Amino acid sequence: MNSTELSCSPPPPPSLPEAGTKASRRPRSPDADDKEKHTHIRFLLSNTAAGSIIGKGGSTITEFQSQSGARIQLSKNHEFFPGTFDRIIRISGELNEITKATKLILEKLLNEAEENHDVDNRTKVRFIVPNSSCGAIIGKGGSTIKSLIEESQADIKISPLGRKYAGFNDRLVTVTGSLEEHMRAITLLMSKVAEDAHYKPSMNLPFSYGVGYMNPPAAHTTNYGSNGIGGKHTSIEVRDMQCI
């Protein structure tokens, strides 16, 4: 073979790790990382508010999903949270997407309430949280929930353990305040439950509570009683902004 010819000999095989050494780990794919960031939030809406969020032919909910990047789902109009006449809305995605979607929804409901002259400066939203995750919100001796109230300036209460329904282990976290206070509280609450190992698996649970819990108690408002946890005020009356 003359000097102008190229060698066609095969390249040497890759070297294997020496005995007793570990091969380097394969880097995690972006898809796996993105999936870990995903979480969700659930709260209650009246039928009227749910219709407003859906919009004509689903136009409003489609627009909100497009603007926020989050997925927004609603229970059917005859499927209520146990003990209420309220439907369940679930927003899933990354934390910033959930925050954007929640703000869009609350702003719309607040604006409609103002147009109807039916608004209070401090309105309330009831969030659904698995009982197993409530400890992350309460903290040792109530330290975490006190900190959340101070930082957000919202009133935050967790329904008593006795207000659970057979077969379900969810509790209601009621946030009362202005829109700005709501958003601060939601951001803080989401950061706490997103870190909780018990919260993420709840994304895989059935979304709806089914038709078997359609009849609410006589009183529509929640009476937290002496066992209610949290709360900046001993009692507070707020008007329905179609978020409860």
Quick one: average pLDDT of 171-185? Answer: 94
Quick one: average pLDDT of 165-188? Answer: 88
Tell me the average pLDDT of the chain.
Answer: 74
Architecture of the domain made up of 37-213+221-230: 2-Layer Sandwich (3.30)
* Per-residue pLDDT tens over the stretch 84-117: 899 999 999 999 999 999 999 999 998 888 877 6
Quick one: average pLDDT of 206-234? Answer: 39
Helices (H), the chain: 30-37, 47-54, 59-68, 95-115, 134-138, 143-152, 179-194
**pLDDT above 90 (res 38):** no
* Per-residue pLDDT tens over the stretch 56-95: 999 999 999 999 999 999 998 888 888 889 999 999 999 9
| Beta carbons of 164 and 170 less than 8 angstroms apart | yes
| Beta carbons of 50 and 77 less than 8 angstroms apart | yes
pTM, full prediction? 0.69
- Burial, 225: exposed, middle or buried (Cβ in 10 Å; 0-12, 13-18, 19+)? exposed
Confidence of residue 206 (pLDDT cuts 50, 70, 90): low
Task: Give me the residue spans of the domains in the chain.
Answer: 37-213+221-230
**Lowest-confidence region among 101-105, 110-114, 203-207, 234-238:** 234-238
